[in-house]
């Protein structure tokens, strides 16, 4: 059964993870509510990310350039590229995210969601979680 991780304005549904794929990939659906966003632009040290639009439109900013990803459109984010995303469309948007190789897994998302839901979001703690899992805040 797919694991769901809820951040409030952002929900993930893990379809495959590094544990099941022998480290080949992590794959999840990401649903972003209107005005939802990734609060901390970052880059990945150890994996690439490919995004495929399923519904609605998510705008990814990669190395300062905006890329609107709608249904049937894709975006490749190479390791080392600073990126973030938001939903300016006014409607929920869903995309499929594939991380290769699969070195992240759902653990990072579980830990960060727990921190945010604690009601005491600590930016220093969030940064530590990101760094420990290979995401480098920009």
- Residues 114 and 97: their CA atoms lie apart, in Å, by 21
- Residues 48 and 121: their CA atoms lie apart, in Å, by 28
The 10s digit of each residue's pLDDT in 96-113 is 999 999 999 999 999 999
**pLDDT value of residue 11:** 95
Within the chain, which residues score under 50 in pLDDT? none
Identify the domain containing residue 68 by its residue range. Answer: 3-137
**pLDDT value of residue 102:** 95
**pLDDT value of residue 8:** 85
Strands 93-100, 3-6: pairing kind: unpaired
Please indicate, yes or no, whether the overall pTM of this predicted structure exceeds 0.75: yes
**pLDDT value of residue 1:** 62
- CATH number of the domain at 90, please: 2.60.120.10
Count: domains in the chain = 1
């Amino acid at each position: 059964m797919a694991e769901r991780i809820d951040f409030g304005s952002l929900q993930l549904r893990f379809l495959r993870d590094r544990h099941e794929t022998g480290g080949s990939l992590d794959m999840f659906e990401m649903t972003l509510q209107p005005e939802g966003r990734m609060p901390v632009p970052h880059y990945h040290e150890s994996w690439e990310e490919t995004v495929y639009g399923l519904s609605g439109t998510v705008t990814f900013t990669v190395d300062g350039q905006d890329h609107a990803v709608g249904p049937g459109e894709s975006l490749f984010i190479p390791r080392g590229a600073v990126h973030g995303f938001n939903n300016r469309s006014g409607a929920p948007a869903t995309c499929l995210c594939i991380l290769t190789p699969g070195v992240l897994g759902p653990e990072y998302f579980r830990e960060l969601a727990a921190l945010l839901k604690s009601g005491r979001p600590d930016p220093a703690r969030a940064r530590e979680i990101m760094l420990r899992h290979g995401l480098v805040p920009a």
